[in-house]
Structure 1
Amino acid sequence: MAGPERVAAVAPRFIELEVLDNQQVSPHIRRVTLGGDEVSAMTPQGFDQWFRFFMRREGQEALRVPKSPSTWFPQYLAMREQHRPWIRNYTVRDFRLDAGELDIDIVCHEDPGPGAAWAMAAERGERAVLLDEGLLYNDDGLEGEILMVGDESVLPAVAGVCGSLEDDARGTVVLEIGHRDDIQEFRRPAGVDIRWVERGSLREGQAALEELRGMRMPEEFGYAYAAGEQQLATGARRHLVRDRGIDKRRITFTGYWKLGKAYVS
């Protein structure tokens, strides 16, 4: 059986946005602030609220998106290739609904993919569209300690989850980063420990997996959430199930991205 089912978005619709600010917050993380009148149509769910993000490709005069949020993918495939937008998945880093704003943190490396390249070039007024997809994190009321494992692409999700947990929550977060200056401070329960692991010369995900394999599992294990590079997410789940004997129904895992491969959606 699979782990807990994801939590659906509330009345999902296409939300039109424009870039309000764009800043480099650490060596590999860029924060894009977007806003617009339609932001208030979203329902903040906290945790790792994620969305499809539609961006204008290089050379396109205008951003074009499908018409229907429920059948967007067939419509996307039916679009002429030169008219198709870039589509990537991101997590809300912060909501400021009163101001009609939200932040997205995007990982930017030396060889940026389409999303990172867009983030580095996006100027004030640049148009974008998002489609809310709800939550992946769902502990389904399980009691016990929480374990979260990921890389820097999971930082917004971890920050959102930690900010949404009850104050008495306990657990451990293992976050692999490319540079110690990518470490971020965010609210978390006092009982949640964060282990920052620098990647060094290792392949993406290996340092986090090594840290996980060396950890002592809590006696009262509740729920695990593993995300980031695909081999990191699947490797963490495999280790927890095969080597630690944890019921797979207590684990949510998802590959945000795959080394050497760009995901369309």
Structure 2
Amino acid sequence: MRKPMKPTLHCTVLTRRHLTPRTVRLTLGGPGLIGLTPRPAQDIEVLLADAHGNRVKRHYTIRHARPRVGEWDIDAVLHTGGGPGSTWAASAEPGSPVEFVGPRGKLELRPADGHLFIGDETSLPAIAALTEALPADQDATAVVETESPADRLPIAAGRVHWLERGGHPAGDPQALLAPVAREIRAGRFEQVYILAEAHAVRAVRELVHGAGVRPEHVFAKGYWTAELRPAVTSRNPT
């Protein structure tokens, strides 16, 4: 039986500001958000139109939620070439309407002594939200690839290994494999979260499984695909 579709909700852009040269935070608000408390790293599916007027969907991680006042923050990565998501995130003015579905997403934190988070700039909002939600007695390590140090955002992990792409193609699995292998050898991780480009996710997941981490302790999700313009931020397809 097909699951019933979630209803479309409406809100308004309250503010827009840059967190980094390529990451924009949009604060959304409206009566429909009052009382809604998403889980860490859940996202919304924003309904947009492309350059030809066709309906498209883009996903954005809910970075912060203030359910008492009906406000959410979403972070969006701006991609070169300006797809529908990037165009919207870069130009949305306070007061403009937003149509979306959500919150959505199956990712949940599980109790573990050691957590390993692997991703890139598109999953940074999700990784940041997840590490902030961990209990103080649970350790977190993150391996994150970005274009440059200017794309970094704070992560509440005890250890963060930043990788600079430095002009190499985004989504190249080789960029993550060696650093992740070193972390797996050095630590004991009961839960692993792989949130990155789809091909990189598959390659890293195979490495993690080969290192002895059981599949049920690995959550893997492709946030974008290299052949296409990223459909994110976690999730932030743009």
Given the two structures, how large is their TM-score scaled by the length of structure 1? 0.77
Aligned with 2:100 (options 115, 130, 144) = 130
The match for 1:62 is: none
Aligned pairs (5 A) from 1:1-265: 13-45=7-39, 47-58=40-51, 82=53, 84-141=54-111, 143-186=112-155, 188=156, 192-205=158-171, 206-217=174-185, 220-242=188-210, 244-262=211-229
Letter in structure 2 aligned against 1:31: R
Structure 1 distance, partners of 2:228, 2:151, is 23
Given the two structures, how large is their TM-score scaled by the length of structure 2? 0.85
Over alpha carbons, which structure has the higher Rg? 1
Q: Is the 8 A contact 1:105 1:156 kept in 2?
A: yes
Are the structure 2 counterparts of residues 211 and 152 from structure 1 closer, same or farther at C-alpha, using a change threshold of 3 Å? Answer: same
- Residue 258 of structure 1 and its aligned partner are, at CA, apart by 0.4
Are the structure 2 counterparts of residues 94 and 139 from structure 1 closer, same or farther at C-alpha, using a change threshold of 3 Å? Answer: closer
Are the structure 2 counterparts of residues 138 and 98 from structure 1 closer, same or farther at C-alpha, using a change threshold of 3 Å? Answer: closer
* Comparing 92-101 and 163-172, the one that deviates more: 92-101
Query: What's the C-alpha RMSD, in Å, of the aligned pairs?
Result: 2.4
Summarize deviations over 1:215-248 as a string: whole Å, max 9, x none: 3435542111001211121111011112x12211
Structure 2 distance, partners of 1:199, 1:262, is 17
Q: Is the 8 A contact 1:150 1:232 kept in 2?
A: no
Summarize deviations over 1:180-213 as a string: whole Å, max 9, x none: 0121125x26xx3111111112222442333213
Are the structure 2 counterparts of residues 58 and 100 from structure 1 closer, same or farther at C-alpha, using a change threshold of 3 Å? Answer: farther
Q: Is the 8 A contact 2:44 2:60 kept in 1?
A: yes
Please, which runs of 5 or more residues in structure 1 have no aligned partner?
1-10, 60-81
Q: Percent identity?
A: 27
Structure 1 distance, partners of 2:192, 2:67, is 30
Aligned residues: 226
The match for 1:79 is: none
Please, which runs of 5 or more residues in structure 2 have no aligned partner?
232-236
Summarize deviations over 1:102-153 as a string: whole Å, max 9, x none: 1111111222221111111211222112222444333444x33111100000
Q: Is the 8 A contact 2:7 2:101 kept in 1?
A: yes
Structure 2 distance, partners of 1:156, 1:131, is 19
Structure 2 distance, partners of 1:197, 1:225, is 17
